[in-house]
Structure 1
Amino acid sequence: MVTLIGYFPVYYLQALDMIKDLKESFNQLLDDLDWMDKHTKEVAKEKNNFISPKIGYPEQVMNDTYLNERYVNLTYHRDKYFENHLEDRRQSFNKNMRELRLPYDKKKWEGTPSTVNAFYSPVKNQIMFPAGILQPPFFSMTYPKSLNYGGIGVVIGHEITHGFDDKGERS
């Protein structure tokens, strides 16, 4: 069950429905396997049911206060690419050091919204679809369902199966 709080882009609910449909289909496919015992099927279904989706971007990107605090000490210079890169690395290192002894946040969004890719995290048992991949040719609110399932649906199914390959074993 996913609780929606705050603003979500228009594609969010459609993508969430597709993920729900494909997780249900995965469970049905498990039922048809003759090489897997009943207990293993139940454990696989349980893991599949607990895969959590991240869609689009984190809520913080719409929060000016958060963004201003996050980048308060970051200064870019138009003509200093290398120095800007070093500043990024320094800020990233300092942020990682501040978070080193903090409890691990399984809800934290990893990566950038502009990424045209999708990911499975075995540590979080999470699939992530940044806004960058939720656009043509993979997905569009104006496409018929068949095109969306053929485009981003294949990607969703691919990410779900990573939870069951040798890199996504049950944790």
Structure 2
Amino acid sequence: MKPLYERQEGESKQVFEGFTIYRNLGLTRKLKDVGKKLGKNHSLIKRWSSQHNWVERAEAFDEEMDKRAILENAQLRKQMIKEHAEVSRKLLLKVKAAVEHIRPETLSPYEIAKLLEIAVKVERLSRGQSTDISEISHSGEITDKVDEQDIFKRVDQYAELYKQIADQGTA
């Protein structure tokens, strides 16, 4: 049996043309629009629609198009995931090679902090953990103020500590 949205047995070319116009109008389809397009009166179009089940056939067409769109989207997503995984794998190999050549003493405190931030995020993601803070609670009382210079001083201290650890590993 043919799909409902194709030309049916005994359906004239003219009636099928009317149906295809109706079918292709999409969710805003109206019989009067078909009549205008074909230059036919509304009562004739209404009769054709009734005799040839245009509403049911158009719904079958819509469902088929939805199924095809869903299937195509699923295939595209699958391909996208595959491509992203391949690009990520290649990029990771390059990053690994680059990391082997990093000399810690050449990094600024900012670069060290940024690399640490990235490393933590990547590790958390690879272990299925969130990389975002989902809840922060605070009593509302501020007991210690930290200024910008103090933050830079602490980053420098961490950088120095990192350098010492790196130097111990090469000694």
TM-score above 0.5:
no
Relative CO higher for 1 or 2, CA cutoff 8 Å, sep ≥ 6?
1
TM-score bucket (shorter structure): under 0.3
Q: 1 or 2, which has the higher helix percentage?
A: 2
Structure 1 length-normalised TM: 0.24
Larger Rg: 2
Structure with more of its chain in strand, by fraction = 1
